[in-house]
Amino acid sequence: MRRLAIAVLLGLQVASTGCGGNDGRTLKVGAASSLKLPLAKLAATYPAGTLVLESGGSDKLAAAIRAGRRPDVFIAASRAQPDSLYADRLAGRPVAVAGNSLVIATRKGGPKFGSLADLGRRGVRIALGSKTVPIGAYADKALAKLPAQQRTAILNNVKSREPDASSVTAKLREGAVDAALLYRTDVDGSTGTLSAVAIPKSVAPLVTYFAAVVNGTKLPNASAALVKSLRSGRGQSLLRSAGFLPPPAK
């Protein structure tokens, strides 16, 4: 798990709208690593209200909550972890806040790939997320829809299973692998070093981010306001500008 050792400023405009402010106290958010750049963009746009971000794999963040290290808000790249915390009364009901797309990511100047089938070529090196984090689970879900021979060829080329999307991205950017299955926003945020190849809709998983207020927070109003902003307010608009998709209607 990576901890961003920074305090970023995030203005939710909650004091002026009556949604509840944070009274000058720190609002802590545990967020999937793929949200690192969007949250930084939110911070730059809304310079009021202190927010401390811990970024990492959704599974590790959820485990930390179970161990007693609890943020005020938890944002995961799938609903599995928030649903589990909700079922165990450790968090409120999860709310969908954004969508994303799984793509084949390649490094500019590296080997060329035009389809999932190309990932099964001999000698190709692939990085995926670990099976317990959303980026890895989404990849496995997509591969499971392929013909068995094609799926086996691709899995035989997997050289690394990483703990979060940022780590998968790092492996690709440093040249340790030739391709990866990543979120489109990770490619879009790579400042031109990576490129994306779309995955057919017939196998592409529905990628959805879910946020939940962690039970026991001392800032329930500010936490709820953050979730609301990401869902349908200014925060949602900024997520869209960062390349994220709107949350599903249901």
Banded pLDDT at 250 (limits 50, 70, 90): low
Nearest to 206 by CA among 96, 58, 105, 128: 96
Mean local confidence (pLDDT), 217-235: 90
Q: For domain 2-99+208-241, which CATH number applies: 3.40.50.10470, 3.30.210.10, 3.40.190.10, 3.30.420.40?
A: 3.40.190.10
Q: Which two tokens stand for residue 30?
A: 């545990």
State which H helix or E strand residue 103 sits in. Answer: strand 102-107
Structure tokens at 139: 């990849």
For 244, list phi and psi in degrees, rounded to 5: -75, 155
Q: pLDDT tier at 47 (50, 70, 90 boundaries)?
A: very low
Q: Which pLDDT belongs to residue 186?
A: 93
The DSSP code sequence of 229-247 is HHHHSHHHHHHHHTTPBPP
Domain span(s) for CATH 3.40.190.10 in the chain: 2-99+208-241, 102-198
pLDDT band with cut points at 50, 70 and 90 for residue 3: very low
Question: What is the per-residue pLDDT for 201?
Answer: 94
Rounded percentage of the chain residues whose pLDDT exceeds 90: 71
Judge contact between 106 and 195, C-beta under 8 A: yes
Pick the CATH number of 102-198 from 3.40.190.10, 3.30.565.10, 3.30.70.270, 3.40.50.2300: 3.40.190.10
In whole angstroms, what is the distance from residue 205 CA to residue 77 CA? 12
At 43 the pLDDT is 63
Q: How many CB atoms lie within 10 A of CB 121?
A: 13
- Tokens at residue 109, please? 């100047």
**Cβ distance 104 to 113 under 8 Å?**
yes
Q: What is the mean pLDDT of the chain?
A: 87
Alpha helices in 18-76, H assignment, sequence order? 36-45, 58-66
Return the exposure string of 214-243: e unless at least 16 CB atoms fall within 10 Å of the residue's CB, then b.
Answer: beebebebbbbbbbbbbbebebbebbeebb
165 token code pair:
């999307």
User: Which amino acid is residue 63, in one-letter code?
Assistant: A
Given a cut of 50, whether residue 223 has pLDDT beyond it is: yes
pLDDT score of 30 more than 50: yes
- Across the range 144-165, mean pLDDT stands at 97
Whole-model pTM over 0.75: yes
Residue 182 has a pLDDT of: 97
17 CB contacts (<8 Å, ≥6 apart)?
A: 225
